[in-house]
Amino acid sequence: MGIYLNPGNKGFWRAVRSEIYVDKTGLIAYTNRYLNTEEGFLCVSRPRRFGKSMTLRMLAAYYSRGCDSRELFAGFRIARDRSFEEHLNRYDVIYLNMQQFLIEAEPGKVTEYLEQEVLRELRKVYGEYLNRQGMGLAAALREIYVETDRQFIFLIDEWDCVMRERQESEALQRQYLDFLRNLLKDQEYAALAYMTGILPVKKYGKHSALNMFREYSMTNQKVLEEYTGFIETEVKGLCVKYDMDFAKTSGWYDGYMFKSYRHIYNPKSVVEAMTCRDFSNYWTSTETYEALKIYIDMDFDGLRPDIVQMLGGGRVRVNTRSFQNDMRSFRTKDDVLTLLIHLGYLGYDSIAEEAFIPNKEIIGEFENAMSVGGWSEVMRVLKASEQLLEDTLRGDAARVAEGLDRAHTEVASILAYNDENALGSAIGLAYYSARKDYRLIREFPSGKGFADIVFLPLPYTGRPALVVELKYDKSVSAAISQIRDRHYVQALENYAGEILLVGINYDKANPDKPHSCVIEKAEKQS
């Protein structure tokens, strides 16, 4: 076993011996299916700490020649798949962590250093075939394949680190992409290539060198959705095992969604929460909030209102197709929002083509980033939200109306009311602190229509539910009547507790008192 050539199964062995290991070996059935096919080039991009490196260690353990991993995989999903025995430990694996080469190489000589290191290991095993002077890595692999008929599987971690960390060096990026293309494209020795990173790979200006790769990204994971993070059934099982509240776990770490799997959880944070028996910011604590602040402070028209709208629990439409898949070539706000999706700071609904802030952990990161200059008016609204919630729970409609007036004044320069949807986002922002104890649901399906906002209390809080109906240039009585006439309260059939009906109207024609509010108690009807 080597460092780069056939690294063996030790890395995966450590993973399965950890206190929590969630079986994701079913992924191997897909990679087996793609061996020696046109689909055998996979670029799987996810945010940091979403299990990318662990996946590569798993694939290395399964495919690496020179070790016996049968017992290691016994009892896991892949062991029951009919392809398990056919490919188990049958291939030479080349495992490349690009971050390591970028750090250790002399400036501008990443690919030269990589070739030097990998060729050194290849010569230990296949030296009799590698006698020609000046032979590069691709030429050496071709020679080995011709002489032995042995193919290679390439596992490449942090493939995009050159693009992320050497953004200013276009020459180095082109050289790197040319190297990967020559190493992998149309090479018979390549049975499979599985690359991971944060960014997808396809649109680096005119230099689309790696067009043979099929992309699986945070905007579309295709058939690999369930392997992107933890799925709901897996998290429920962990909550039972560790006696942790599932609803609270969801509020903290759920929120990433795809076409088939609508609830994907941050795996790093779930594992930490379970083992520490505490809900906290685990994923975001691994990187300074300054990284997020750089992007949300960018001066693109419409970006700041979109951020505020999402902070208020709303969604924003995003065109992800214009993104150039780098961290530098931004032309519109959509490019910035798409990058935040790939970085994990935003969730993305590919069916509706909408972005949103996925969970409580990420909301906290936005708050940290905004607390340092540039967002002072928003921060004042957030700080006042605790009092607004308490006034609502006491039924003090006059104080609530006053609080909403102040909140509107603060954010008017960023988020102007122009319809009930914008009003809803502003109301959600004004009730920001409620997310500690509530799950905020926009357009909650209720009775004959949709309640604009429902604040559903988490089980442990003892708080009442809030059903909020918004009106724009109408009346609060119309809002309350709509709640009753459309039987919104009946939709909370699984909730046994007090319910407050909150009607809010914004009167554009009355600048002295633009907001009015009515708060009433309701009992669920049988």
Mind listing the pLDDT tens digit for each residue in 505-518?
998 888 778 899 99
Closest residue by Cα to residue 454 from 487, 403, 489, 505: 489
% of the chain at pLDDT higher than 70: 95
Task: Say whether domain 10-216 belongs to CATH 2.40.50.
Answer: no
The dihedral built from the CA positions of residue 187, 190, 192 and 196, taken in this order, carries a sign that is: negative
C-alpha span between 120 and 244 (Å, rounded): 50
Please state whether beta strands 465-472 and 264-265 pair in parallel, antiparallel, or not at all (unpaired): unpaired
pLDDT tens-place string over residues 322-375: 898 888 889 999 999 999 999 999 999 999 999 999 999 999 999 989 988 789
Assess contact for 50 and 344: CB atoms under 8 A.
Answer: yes
- In the block, tokens 């250790």 appear at 104
Rounded average pLDDT over 163-178: 89
Query: How confident is the model at residue 448, as a pLDDT?
Result: 46
pLDDT tens-place string over residues 493-508: 778 889 999 999 998 8
Supply φ then ψ for residue 312, to 5 degrees.
-80, 10
What's the Cα-to-Cα distance from 324 to each of 80, 202, 336, 432, 496, rounded to whole Å?
41, 8, 10, 33, 49
What's the Cα-to-Cα distance from 261 to each of 47, 156, 197, 525, rounded to whole Å?
17, 26, 21, 34
CB contact set of 25 (below 8 Å; sequence gap of 6+): 58, 62, 73, 76, 77, 78, 79
Alpha helices (H) along 352-442: 360-370, 376-393, 397-411, 420-430
Query: How confident is the model at residue 512, as a pLDDT?
Result: 76
Rounded average pLDDT over 130-147: 94
Supply φ then ψ for residue 208, to 5 degrees.
-90, 70
C-alpha span between 476 and 463 (Å, rounded): 23
Q: Which ranges in the chain are annotated with CATH 3.40.50?
A: 10-216
Closest residue by Cα to residue 88 from 60, 63, 66, 59: 63
For the entire predicted model, the pTM comes to 0.93
With bands split at pLDDT 50, 70 and 90, how would you rate the model's confidence at 310?
very high
Query: How confident is the model at residue 503, as a pLDDT?
Result: 93
Rounded average pLDDT over 29-54: 96
Query: How confident is the model at residue 444, as a pLDDT?
Result: 60
